[in-house]
Structure 1
Amino acid sequence: MATLSAVLATTHHPFYLKATTAPPEERMPQADEWKRKVEAYRETLTVAKPDILVMVGADHFHQFFSDNYPTFLIGKQPMYDATFYNETREFGLPTFLLQGHEELSGYMLQGLLDRGFDFSVSHELKIDHSIICPIITTRPDADLPIVPIYTNIFAPPLPSPKRFWDLGRAIRSIIDEWPSDLRVAAVGSGHLSLELGGPRQFGETGPDPEFDLQAIEWLRTGDIDGILANVTHESMSGAGNATHGFMDLILMMGIAGPIEASYVDSLDLFHTREAYVTWYPEGAPS
């Protein structure tokens, strides 16, 4: 059976690359600390020695819109073109051509259908920064095949936080049952409290620092009961109009299970808090 070697839940800040590669005189004050934290976080994936990455993200209205936005979607392609024009223009993100893993995509699609998750499937999916940013921060060589999973965190009506947790548990069981000797790591990105285009977008911290600290604690301790008792669509909206991205982090904790994280770090930027969490379901690498 396959080995789930690591589960990573992180934020995806599109300005990371530009902020940390700018000339020293042009860098934001937190750039050097940001780079140190990301490079330390990267090691938590490197030491797990994965062969395949299951990548969880969300399309930022690049190819899906409110009139036809899939609740959950999996890609099944030999290759994935990545990075849209506006992401290169605005954020300085490079383009990528990522290898896919059609065997695991097909096995996971059937397993999800069997478990009651009616996934959409795409054979022409293009990848945006919700997956490219974690590639840049955790696997910059982009040298591993991926299985991309997209969730709807933007276009109401949205699935519940519990549905994201249950999806994570289903993905975990499928990886555990996959008849392969390969090592799989799951890397997913979302948000803590976040405001996009609203009056709280450019504060000194994220729009709800208390939610951010509590959310990181829930992830650190694997406290799904605390999450499901306190996190609703209404409470996430109150924390910031884009905070529903936290549900993708719940999904990643679902893949790991209700266990304590092996690695937790965060960084408070001027308008958001970045988070970096890693679980090792089979035990931390020596």
Structure 2
Amino acid sequence: MINQISFKEQKPTLYIVSTPIGNLKDITYRAIEILSSVDYILAEDTRVTDKLLKHYFINKKLISYHEHNKFEKEELILKLLSENNHIALVSDAGTPMISDPGYEITQTVMQNEYPVVAIPGASALLTALITSNIAPMPFIFIGFLPRKQSDQKTFLEKYKSYQEALIIYESPKRIEKTLQVIYEVYGNRKISLARELTKKFETITNGYIEDILKTELNLLGEYVLIIEGNQIEVDYNEITIEAHVLLYIKQGYTEKEALKLVAKDRNVKKSDIYQAYKIK
């Protein structure tokens, strides 16, 4: 039995609802309650969402909302909220906005002073990470790489020195070529390939890139790649303070944060690093 939530005294809200990534049972009670209670559901693919709703005997008005119409639908969504309607946003699978549409509309809704509430649930990247046999923290989620191999190499080079595990999504059509590019840029690192997560033919392959390149991969189902971070110890005495600071800045740290980290790495006072860096 599905419980309905009463929204009578609540300001019209946009709910960001996580849906199953494969097995339809991987959905929370709260997500079912919200989907059963809202007035409209924004769906990346209405056909996919319709199957999920029918499975849980939910009958709601679906509105197509995807990458190619997300801006033209903003006016309609704001109009519905102004008319006191509650709306849920779902993607085909997993959590919206994670390599799926949703970011722009949440910004617009917030700017118009309507609440945005997240309903957490399944996530392909976390599901793959915890079975990867690679240290799960810290990690960096990248999403899909650029299509061109030359752009992929340039992009991957930025993360080459990072010690964090890298998480990438990839199409089965491009997985073999992408693995080759990763090998060319990073060498023979540990990697995990996960496909068809939570489904009948779920497959998780853990090992080293060189070995996996020799195997025959199943070219069905989107892949989640977990790449081990750079494990090569850096002798900081062999690089300049400037290069050391820039190493951290390239990883996304501010200059102030980088100076503090360099001082810690070299076991000296931050003021000494600051002075040396500014004199350079």
> Which TM bucket (shorter chain)?
under 0.3
Q: Which has the higher contact order (CA 8 A, sep 6+)?
A: 1
Query: Which of the pair has more CA radius of gyration?
Result: 2
TM-score, structure 1 length as denominator?
0.27
TM-score, structure 2 length as denominator?
0.28
